[in-house]
Amino acid sequence: MPPGQASILILDHFDVFGGAQLYILDMIGALKADRYRFFCTDVLDDWSRQRLQQLGVTRIPLFPYFSKRNGVFALLRSFMHLMRLRGKAGTPDLLLTNSMPGLLVARLAFGRSLPVVHIAHRMDYGPILRVMLRRWPDRLVTVSQTAANWFREIGVPPDRIRIVPNGFDPALHQRVETSPKPGLCLGMVGRLDREKGMEDLLELARRLAGRQEIRFRLVGAASDPAQDRLWRTLAERDGLLPMIEFAGRKPPGPALFEGMDLLLNLSNFQETFGRSYAEAALLEIPTLAYRNGAPEEWIEHGRNGWFIDSVDSLQTLVEELVREPDRVRLAGKEARRTILANFSLGECAEQLKAILEERLAGPH
């Protein structure tokens, strides 16, 4: 390693559809390349592989994808490989993790000999994993006050918790200009799961069936392929396919939101940040949201987005907005201003850098 350069091993798999992984990629791109050298383990898709190569991240294939089917094997294999890590990358100066298997392997392989910074983008950990979170990370970095409060409630020491939100480079989030269509296109991006509000979306579509000026565009897929097929079957059964486009998975970028006028946040759980809603806001696409956590920290009802509390109120609002497109456009412009003012990638990267430097310099 060149003098003054720190070696950071990212102990996790990279998946283009994982919000925490996209967060880390953004941060790597914004941090000083001459100060840090990054190594990573498993990469699950071509987009992530190409992005890591562009960023100069060295890949060490150690960490097989962790699932219920191969969990024990993954841990054993990862542990064995990590014990031989010195021959591949030398001993890193710091470990960066963003999943519980990565955190577990980090402590199994290195004990307390290296500092661990854990990136936590979820709030659904069970009892055993909560114990790990309370004891093992030297710093737990999360992305919103909502999430930080939850980690304090489950017993993570407050002095270990840091908030570094998602940051965005506006140059990478420019709206793709297309020929405008009359009416409104309502979008949903990401996991098309029951907990993300797919049942409410289909109910809304049923109520609005026959309204040719209202369309839906769904980008992403359900976690379970069977559930994916179920949504399409229900839409076809109810005659909704003319108004609903199932666009499938797409790589990150403005094209995710192509043609959308409004984004729907119908999640029935507490959102840790809501990355896609912020990305849409940068493209001047406001969000209609349930009150479900972190988006409440920056969405102001009626100014840069709207809150609803049921399918009834959602239907009423959509029927209003389709008649008043200027309200949507004004809210979109305010949404973009809000993200630019509060979530600068450069500023967020500096906050993360301060945490890394603190851990590299201090005891752990």
User: Would the pLDDT of 175 be above 80?
Assistant: no
The confidence score (pLDDT) of residue 82 equals 64
Domains along the chain? 6-167+344-361 (3.40.50.2000), 171-342 (3.40.50.2000)
Q: What is the pTM of this model?
A: 0.90
Mean pLDDT, to the nearest integer, of 53-62?
A: 79
Binning pLDDT at 50, 70 and 90, where does residue 351 land? very high
Partners of 8 in beta bridges:
38, 94
Condensed to tens digits (0 to 9), the pLDDT of residues 271-325 reads 999 999 999 999 999 999 999 999 999 999 999 999 999 999 999 999 999 999 9
Lowest-pLDDT range, 50-64, 282-296, 304-318, 345-359?
50-64
φ and ψ of 300, to 5 deg: -110, 120
Q: What is the pLDDT of residues 98-133, one digit of tens each?
A: 888 788 878 877 778 889 999 998 898 999 999 999
For tokens 């990305």, name the residue.
Answer: 279
Q: What span, in angstroms and rounded, lies between the C-alpha atoms of 266 and 268?
A: 6
Q: Highest mean pLDDT range out of 23-37, 78-92, 112-126, 222-236?
A: 222-236
Q: For a pLDDT cut of 90, what percent of the chain falls above it?
A: 65
Query: Tokens for 141?
Result: 């970095």
- Look-up: residue for tokens 């307390």? 112
State pLDDT tens for residues 142-158: 999 999 999 999 999 99
SS3 294: helix
Q: How far apart are CA 8 and CA 356, in angstroms?
A: 9
Distance between CA atoms of 99 and 21, rounded to whole angstroms?
A: 10
Residue type, 37: R
